[in-house]
Structure 1
Amino acid sequence: MNKPLIRTIGRHKESYLLMTPFMIFFLLFTILPVALSIVLGFTYYNMIEPPRFIGWYNYIRLFLDDDIFIIALKNTMFFAFVTGPVSYLLSFLVAWMINDLSRTLRSIATTVFYIPTIIGVSVFPMWRLIFSPDAYGYLNGMLMGLGIISDPVAWLIDKEYILLILIVVQLWMSLGISFLAFVAGLQTVDRSLYEAGVMDGIKNRFQELWYITLPSMIPQLIFGAVMQIVISFSVADVSIQLAGFPSTEYAGETMVTHIMDYGSIRYEMGYASAMAVVLFFMMVFTNRLVTKILQKVGI
């Protein structure tokens, strides 16, 4: 450890002491699991025998010998590139629209929009009832009543509809941490900037948004992007609860459900770790790409 770093720690020892509990938990439950996954990805490990080094075999098997993984990869990418940007924009637009409400109304609106994220798991039975495959399902009943369809549709069983329905439900649950960050960020924007903007020629709310609000919310925008990337790449509960585990012809399979299959059911921990490493680097790459795009457009 070099002397400048030691002196810095000495000058700010109280701050480092307060950070210590977080850093311990971060190292134990974030850094260590990622490092172990990378190591185990090069082994055959079934939790009974000691890990056995097998080199790149797990990764070769992933892309050349596992058709279900390719389906899960495609579904995950589709989820990420649809729900991620849509959820991100929706979270910001809703936060922006309720920002000028009074404090009480804004608190109520924030609670109302955030509730689906909190109760998402508990209302899956309601979604199953809506998309029930018989004539008593709400959606089937409504469409049959309107004469749009003549026979009930097995929405959560037919592979043509599964992924679309999962995306709809995921979007319903999407106003989460990013939404709260945007609500908080909008409240920190200096109001005097808007007055100065009017004097400088800003004529409407959209110019105000582009030239003042967004540049003033850089930390919250980047944080929201990171959180949306993580959420959109780690979809699992929605698929398991609505489409089943596994879903029809793996139409709702995602990388996380595939990892759960091999990790918690088949106990092929080395192979599951290899998939987790691939997913981790996909998230890191996407995060870097989105951050660069936001910085390039001046946000």
Structure 2
Amino acid sequence: MTTAPRPAVAEATGAGRSTAPRPPGTGLLGRATRRTGRRRGYEALSGWLFVLPAVALFLVMGLYTVGYGFLLSFARWNGFAPHWDWVGVQNYKDLLWANPAYAPRVRHAATHTLYVMIAVPLLTVLVSFPLAVLLNSARRMQTLLRSVYFVPYVTSGIAVFFAWQYILQPDGAVNAALKTLGMGSLAQPQGWLGNPHTALPTMIVVTVWGAVPVAMLMYLTGLQTIDRSVLEAAELDGAGWWRANASVVWPLVRPITAIVVLLNLRDSLQGFQTFLVMTNGGPGDHTNVLGLEAYRLAFLKDLAPTLGLASALGWLLFAAALVLALINLRVLRSRT
């Protein structure tokens, strides 16, 4: 007759232990996994709670505003009537050719905007790149010079624009300097902003003056990342200072040039603050640009303000900026 094994012996030999698999997650590893999962869930929830105000603000001020403006571009509304008058694409037709009260002004403003879009990026690159090269080669006071050149960008825009207005007046500093140098024939009795022939070129110069600091800093950053051995190799091959910068440095900073051109094209196409403060489109609409025209259509009473036309013109500007960005991206990719 056999007897049952003792409990200790049974435990040591594994007798009487269930061979059924344990449910998943019941061991130490499973509990640790569950704790890690809960902790990650709490972290994700707290992260979403932190960004929720910014997301809500973006949804209200971003997507809602953009969608509202897009729908408004197909309606006629002065901002006060309780209802819109749906007109479809008529606003776009009125701006481009159909309405004789708006189409000629838009075409005139588009011509001025085209001049600004060509001149400002070109002059900005021509001024900022040599300035960055000279600043990069400076051995002393480089930080001070960089700060001085960056002052136009960090100074309050309104204050700078009023300062330029004062300088360009008939009795301003520019005319006074020309008379002192014996070039009084170049002075403008009406002021540089009052003469229809000099108003737009003067505004282009002021715009370039404000755009150069950022472009110069971008070029300077790119120049400081160029390997010094590349320039030394060019010098060993007999390349002088001009040749090295034209044939070696300039191709290496071509992506930065593309960014500078794109940013200035965007600002030239959509920006209007400088023109609004300094000339308000004058004299005689000789400095009127598309961004300023959209502002006038939206808010000025003498043009029978309609937010629908202003929204339509804004979306035309957005489409033009998008096309320019795509072209710039395509050109940049083809050269890299």
Say yes or no: TM over 0.5: yes
Label 1:141 to 1:86 Cα distance change in 2 as closer, same or farther (>3 A).
closer
CA-atom RMSD, angstroms? 3.4
Give the corresponding residue for 1:274.
Answer: 312
Q: Distance in 1 between matches of 2:187 and 2:199?
A: 20
Contact 1:128 1:242 in 2 (8 A): yes
1:238 counterpart = 2:304: no
1:58 counterpart = 2:91: yes
**Higher RCO (CA 8 Å, separation ≥ 6 residues):** 1
1:37 counterpart = 2:69: yes
Give the corresponding residue for 1:188.
Answer: 225
1:260 counterpart = 2:298: no
Q: Distance in 2 between matches of 1:89 and 1:262?
A: 35
Q: Distance in 2 between matches of 1:26 and 1:238?
A: 27
Query: Where does 1:48-197 land on structure 2 (aligned, <5 Å)?
Result: 48=80, 49-64=82-97, 65=99, 66=102, 67-102=104-139, 105-119=141-155, 120-133=157-170, 136-143=171-178, 146=182, 147-148=184-185, 152-197=189-234
How far did residue 292 of structure 1 move? 3.5
The alignment of Structure 1 onto Structure 2 pairs a total of residues equal to 280
How far did residue 56 of structure 1 move? 1.1
Q: Identity of paired residues, percent?
A: 20
Deviations 1:203-258 (Å, cap 9, x if unpaired)?
23445445543454455333322212122223422222222x34221111111111
Contact 2:106 2:290 in 1 (8 A): yes
Higher radius of gyration, 1 or 2 = 2
**280, 283, 286: which one aligns with 1:251:** 286
Give the corresponding residue for 1:223.
Answer: 259
Gapped runs of 5+ residues in structure 1?
1-9
**Aligned partner letter, 1:237:** Q
Q: Distance in 2 between matches of 1:172 and 1:254?
A: 19
Contact 1:202 1:208 in 2 (8 A): no
Deviations 1:243-275 (Å, cap 9, x if unpaired)?
2x3422111111111111122335522111111
1:46 counterpart = 2:84: no
**Aligned partner letter, 1:277:** W
Alignment TM-score, normalising by the size of structure 1: 0.78
Label 1:36 to 1:182 Cα distance change in 2 as closer, same or farther (>3 A).
farther
Q: What secondary structure, in the 3-state scheme, does the structure 1 residue paired with 2:169 have? A: coil
Alignment TM-score, normalising by the size of structure 2: 0.70
Q: Distance in 1 between matches of 2:136 and 2:188?
A: 46
Contact 1:178 1:227 in 2 (8 A): no
**Aligned partner letter, 1:47:** G
Q: What secondary structure, in the 3-state scheme, does the structure 2 residue paired with 1:173 have? A: helix
Q: Distance in 1 between matches of 2:278 and 2:291?
A: 15
**Which stretch has the larger CA shift, 115-124 or 58-67?**
115-124
Label 1:51 to 1:158 Cα distance change in 2 as closer, same or farther (>3 A).
same
Q: What secondary structure, in the 3-state scheme, does the structure 1 residue paired with 2:137 have? A: coil
Q: Distance in 1 between matches of 2:173 and 2:277?
A: 18
Label 1:144 to 1:202 Cα distance change in 2 as closer, same or farther (>3 A).
closer
Q: Distance in 1 between matches of 2:93 and 2:227?
A: 53
**Aligned partner letter, 1:257:** L
Query: Where does 1:279-290 land on structure 2 (aligned, <5 Å)?
Result: 279-290=317-328
Contact 1:182 1:224 in 2 (8 A): no
How far did residue 196 of structure 1 move? 4.8
Give the corresponding residue for 1:3.
Answer: none
**Aligned partner letter, 1:238:** T
